[in-house]
Structure 1
Amino acid sequence: MAATGPSLFVASPLVTSTAGNSGRNRCLSSFRAMAVSADQKSSPATVATRSTENGRWLEEKNRKGRKEEEELTSNIYSNPQEITDENGKTLREYFQECKDLMIQSKAGPPLWFTPLECGSHAPDSPLLLFLPGLNFFFIFFFGGLMAWGLDFLNIIINWENLVKLVERTVRSEYKRSPDRPIYIVGESLGACIALDVAARNPDVDLVLILANPATSFSRSQLLSLIPVLQVMPDQLSLYFSYMLNLASGDPLRMAFENVAKGLMPHQMVGELTQDLVAMSSYLCVLADMLPRETLLWKLQMLKSASSSANSHLHAIKNQALLLCSGKDQLFPSEEEAQRLYRMLPKCEKRVFEESGHFLFLEDGFDLVTAIKGASFYRQGKYLDYVSDYIPPTPYEFKKIYESNRWVLAVTSPVMLSTLDDGKVVRGLAGIPSEGPVLYVGYHMLLGFELAPLVLQFLMERNILLRGIAHPMMFTRAKEGRMLDLGSFDTYRLMGAVPVSGSNFYKLLSSKSHALLYPGGVREALHRKGEEYKLFWPEQSEFVRMASRFGAKIVPFGVVGEDDVGELVFDYNDQMQIPSLRTFIKELTEEVVHLRIDASGEVSNQDVYLPGVVPKLPGRFYYYFGKPIETKERKEELRNRERAHEVYLHVKTEVEKCIAYLKEKREEDPYRNLMTRLVYQATHGFEAQVPTFEL
């Protein structure tokens, strides 16, 4: 059938947002200048990269003048409550911009669109190709990955030609930059294209991001609609397409999300009404775009795409991230994601339980965050957890802060640090500004202390702590009953790296602020009566590496776990029960083993889930001791005995910090939650609650 417009795909360097925005509404303001090319020649788009100099994230820009430098180094994380979604557009504005483009569209071959108005980008940014599905009304922007696609496919093009079009671009870009990965983000039909292209090009380093793949089309209700469309009158096609849009995008929910943030109830009602009117007013545009023949052609294309992609799944060895919606009304996406997860050898999946088929249009979803959280962003053939890391945007930080806000509220953390003259002060003024710095301390039960610690460092000092974490947060020795890797996305987003000598070396060499717990799993999963007891290896593990780079070692202690919960069912209790003993063994076999050459308490530890009874929350206390210098002792600390002396000194200082806090907290009149609530009720809930005298 004849057509009215082209199919548009997005070719752009993989980028991240600096504005702290996410989702369709947060990036619509960037929709202005675009380059169009029929021969797939793309120009650079954007990325915001940051360096780790002095442990701070500074934008790599030309800095002129002291005033500009001060502005660039200001703490963007200091007040998460003030981080807002800027430049969000209403649905009316969104529809109007789309309408103008639709009217101007002319027939022609599929095009690649490259976003231009996103700022500067790093020269080694990998390329991202976005392949939209056969959606009925589609223009979206997510995070810093500004993607633009209008699907008014009314031209005659078969599946094979569509795959070849993408393949030509992939081969061309691979030839130009063979050492960099190419990202293909495919939604629905686009995911089928991505799978076919990957199967046909096994020599190309393709990273697949697949959202609600249409590979499940044979099990979708849409399959039964093909014969219905063949006999359906033209005048009913509009209502049919609109109902499909309701199922895939849930416009009512999207309209509500568009106006719900930051508005008073009466404002919300007014904006919501106007947005819904705007959607209905543009149904005529939809009718022009989607005659019955077009809808039928789209479904037939989906059928061919699904069949082709499924026949090639066995040949795909690429790294793949599956994004599936829990409330997809068009495809059984959650079930399909599980099937593909079992079939694809290098695959991870993330489930968005409350989302519909139109995942990328939902305001709470951010593709950049999903890619970063899954550790899927890399610039070379292999992932480097240090050099490939991109810090959280202000908006990402705000979401993490809000998800942990209740922890901060009920524990009201007290942070103490030590100045150069030995004076103890409240706050983090005694923390070194320049890296590398190694923070060595005590690991609370289940790591209760981590969220307040990392968040406070960012808010107060603009310092990102790179936690050296157990590999169970990043990979599995085998699949089983362990928590899904997606449960640890926030840790990766905030800079956690798997423990290894090479990662430790890279963190210190890049002048990072690294967080190390020598007690590891044994300390974080301790038994009854072992609160505040250190389980460190007999031999030093970090002193000589720290001295090699002149890192400052900051010992610290933290107490409060016994005030928030009581351990009632520990490892020893569970090992007495045969079924639980088997369960613990299975869990332990799923994780990567550490310290296999060690013996005693710190050798490779069993993984178990302790039983904890919550208490009326007390308070968390952190005390950072005086930094221990290694810069002038590099040669001296090459000697193992000297290094071991420093190691024991650090351990002793951590124990002193814990003892100090256990004693001083008894003098805190606001240790109990109720007294803190009374204080905040009279002084404001944002007021800092006092503590003991220093």
Structure 2
Amino acid sequence: MSALADSPIIDQPAQVRALRRAFASISDASAAAVDACRPSEGTDQLPSDGRFLLVANHTQGWMEILLIPHFVRQSIGTRVRPLAERGIGKMRGPLRDIAAAFGAVVGSPDNAGELMRHDQTVLVFPGGGREIAKFKGEEHRLSWQGRAGFARVAIANGYPIVPVGLVGSDDMYEGLFSRDSRLGQLSLAVSAKMTGHKDAPVPLMRGIGPTLIPRPRRMYLRFGTPIDTTKPADASDDEWTNTVKQTTQTSLEDTLADLLRIRTDDPYRALNPLAWRRATQPRR
């Protein structure tokens, strides 16, 4: 995949354009059903021009990949462009078309910068795949390992950052062992030998009963206050990059902690229809 081979900035194949229209229709048709679960707040703070970088947590249920673009489109009408793992560039056939229709591009500084120069709404998960494959006890935690590239590219292009946190999607599966357990260490060793990546294990988990069918859970999604990335005159580039990165991470961690408290007190967290009228409203 070239830098923007799957962006609306250039012509796209007919099948990709058809898939884009289909995805938009599905999003519109499902809006009422999604809203009935009352998962989102904070969309009123989104910059109306679409020029902002969404920085989010990744989950093992992947619901953030669907919900964040849905609510941004429903709120301000812009298409979200997710920055994906580099493996997306190796996709072929229908999977490549689906990724292209969804707006995904390979997550590199050049691609992010090009999207921003064309005023696109961009979504990034600094934790990458490390935040998807979770061991028991690692749910709803960030795993950025010092990554600050998102802050650097936002500063360079004058893009505000909107932290967006999701709680609930990690609850769709239950990890069966911890990272430090013998099985956890075995999973890490096998993963490193098979893929060459020490931080991308395949933890053993379950959904409903002993199956991998995801458990129904309510989603709690919050778009945070935009963070201005304009560099003060007396700050060095490195200092300001670290400041923006840390401010974003702290905001997102606070959001996740707050949403976890809301979820704990919510009788509707397992989507029990009998508790719908008593569902906790995720309002600040």
Distance 1:485 1:676 in 2: 44
SS in 1 for 2:281: coil
Distance 1:413 1:490 in 2: 27
Q: Which amino acid aligns with 2:80?
A: L
Give the aligned partner of residue 651 of structure 1.
Answer: 249
Q: Structure 1 pair 616/465, CA: closer, same or farther in 2 (3 Å)?
A: same
Contact 1:556/1:622 (<8 A) preserved: yes
Aligned equivalent of 1:388: 10
The equivalent residue for 1:671 is 269
Q: Tell me, what secondary structure is at the counterpart of 1:445?
A: coil
Indicate how the Cα distance of structure 1 residues 465 and 676 shifts in structure 2: closer, same or farther if over 3 A, else same. Answer: farther
SS at match of 1:439: strand
Partner of 1:462: 77
Cα distance change on mapping 1:449 and 1:676 into 2, 3 Å: farther
For this pair of structures, how many residues does the alignment match?
Answer: 270
Decide which of 128, 136, 148 is 1:540's aligned counterpart: 148
Closer, same or farther in 2 for the Cα pair 1:604/1:466, shift >3 Å? farther
1:446–1:525 CA contact under 8 A, matched in 2: no
Cα RMSD after superposing both structures: 3.6
1:691 is the counterpart of 2:278: no
The answer as to whether partners of 2:60 and 2:134 remain within 8 angstroms in 1 is: yes
Residue 626 of structure 1 corresponds to 225
User: Any conservation in 2 of the 1:616–1:673 contact (CA below 8 Å)?
Assistant: no
Structure 1 residue matching 2:200: 3-state secondary structure: coil
Change (3 A) 1:674 1:492: same
In the TM superposition, 1:483-522 aligns within 5 A as 486-487=94-95, 489-522=97-130
**Closer/same/farther in 2, CA of residues 621 and 410 from structure 1, 3 Å limit:** same
Instruction: Name the aligned partner's letter for residue 22 of structure 2.
Output: E
TM-score, length-normalised on structure 1?
A: 0.35
Q: Is the 8 A contact 2:50 2:121 kept in 1?
A: yes
Aligned counterpart for 1:437 among listed residues 52, 55, 66: 52
Relative contact order (alpha carbons < 8 A, sep ≥ 6): 1 or 2 greater? 2
| CA distance, structure 2, for counterparts of residue 454 and residue 467 of structure 1 | 9
Amino acid corresponding to residue 216 of structure 2 in structure 1: P
Tell me by how many angstroms 1:674 deviates: 1.9
- What is the identity percentage for the equivalent residue pairs of Structure 1 and Structure 2? 25
Unaligned runs of 5+ in 1: 1-374, 418-427, 477-483, 590-602, 680-688
Q: Does 1:412 align with 2:37?
A: yes
**Does the 8 A contact of 1:411 with 1:619 survive in 2?**
no
1:532 to 1:616, Cα distance in 2 relative to 1, 3 A: closer
In 2, the alpha carbon distance for the partners of 1:461 and 1:661 equals: 24
Aligned-residue offset at 1:693: 5.2
Mapped contact 1:436–1:510 kept (Cα < 8 A): no
Aligned mate of 2:199, from 601, 605, 608:
605
Partner SS, residue 557 of structure 1 = strand
1:206-605 residue pairs with structure 2 within 5 A? 384-386=5-7, 387-388=9-10, 395-398=21-24, 401=27, 412=37, 414-417=39-42, 428-475=43-90, 486-487=94-95, 489-538=97-146, 540-568=148-176, 573=183, 576=186, 585-586=193-194, 588=195, 605=199
The 1-side partners of 2:44 and 2:219 are apart by 19
Q: 1:659 to 1:445 in 2, by over 3 A?
A: same
Asked if the contact 2:83/2:104 (under 8 Å) is kept, the reply is yes
Partner Cα separation in structure 1 for residue 234 and residue 274 of structure 2: 49
Over alpha carbons, which structure has the higher Rg?
A: 1
Where do 5+ consecutive residues of structure 2 fail to align? Answer: 209-213
Q: 1:466–1:497: 8 Å Cα contact kept in structure 2?
A: yes
Q: How does 1:14-163 map to 2 (within 5 A)?
A: none
Q: Distance in 1 between matches of 2:109 and 2:127?
A: 16
SS at match of 1:618: coil
Paired AA for residue 396 in structure 1: A
Q: Quote the offset at 1:465 in angstroms.
A: 1.1
2:192–2:198 CA contact under 8 A, matched in 1: no
